[in-house]
Amino acid sequence: MKNGWFTTSLILALSVCGLAARAQQSVDLIMDNLTSSVLAQTTALLNSNAVMAASRNAAAERRTGRDSTTARRVNLAYSPTIALQQQTVRDLSQQLQARSPAAVQALNNAFGPGKADYSQLFREMVKQSGLPADNAATAFAAYIELAYAIVHDVQHERASTPAMDQALQRQMTTLLSQNDKLSSPSTVAKFGETIKLQAILLYVSWQDARKSEQASQFRSVVAQQFRKQGLDLSLVKLTAQGMSRK
């Protein structure tokens, strides 16, 4: 497979680390996880008007060769540490504990100490896109594109190309650079790792939902959760110029 986030190497890596064997747990995990703090943290970023504005700004930058917003004044690249990765898993576990102990167990079984490295799996996910894995905009673009693929019932990875991935990443760079909370290397790194983990969980759960004939239900849940946060993914399209209204 050549194109997009969805690569054969990622599927193989997930199988090797044993996540495929625990797939059933992942559906329950992501159903709960989508209502957790990550979407709440990114409500303003997910607003469809903000996404469309980022599209226009990114296009203007390409035409003029200059930054049309504060994009690139914020360095969204970072170097993750093992300590940060472990803390990212613990943070999500704590957020889920009160609502779903089963989801916590599933998360720890997959990514707890001595288990799979979600950051390495994310590198496999984005490898064919040509984008830097340790970058908050790459993580956010992958997360949004995965949700888009789920809502639009994308059946084949070739529907997504590196040009689309890169255009969406430019949009997310513009969007994230407008977030005052991402003002330091530590906050950028924390956000990036949080979204990496979210993207991997979303991917694993999507694959399992398809295998267990729950794809329609799963698609509805994902669409509804993003719609609540202001981004109706059914009303947008992804092209080589990025995400725009249909």
Question: What's the CA angle centered on 42, arms 137 and 57, to 5 degrees?
Answer: 50
Look at residue 148 and tell me if it is in a domain.
yes
Domain with 118 in it: 8-245
Q: Which amino acid is at 55?
A: S
1, part of any domain: no
Q: Check pLDDT > 70 for residue 63.
A: no
Residue 2 placed within a domain: no
Read off the pTM: 0.80
* 3, part of any domain: no
pLDDT at 87 over 90: yes
Task: Reduce the DSSP state of residue 118 to 3 states and report it.
Answer: helix
Residue 232 lies in a domain: yes
Higher pLDDT, 9 or 192: 192
What is the C-alpha separation between 214 and 140, in angstroms, rounded? 25
Tally of domains in the chain:
1
In a domain, residue 194? The reply is: yes
Percent of the chain with pLDDT over 70: 69
* CB-neighbour burial class of residue 155 (10 A; exposed 0-12, middle 13-18, buried 19+): exposed
Dump pLDDT digits (tens) for 6-57. 554 455 445 445 544 444 444 555 555 554 444 444 554 555 555 555 555 5
Residue 94 structure tokens: 């704590």
> Is residue 42 one of the residues assigned to a domain?
yes
- Classify residue 231 by burial, with Cβ atoms within 10 Å: 0-12, 13-18, 19+: buried
CA dist 139 and 144 (Å) reads 9
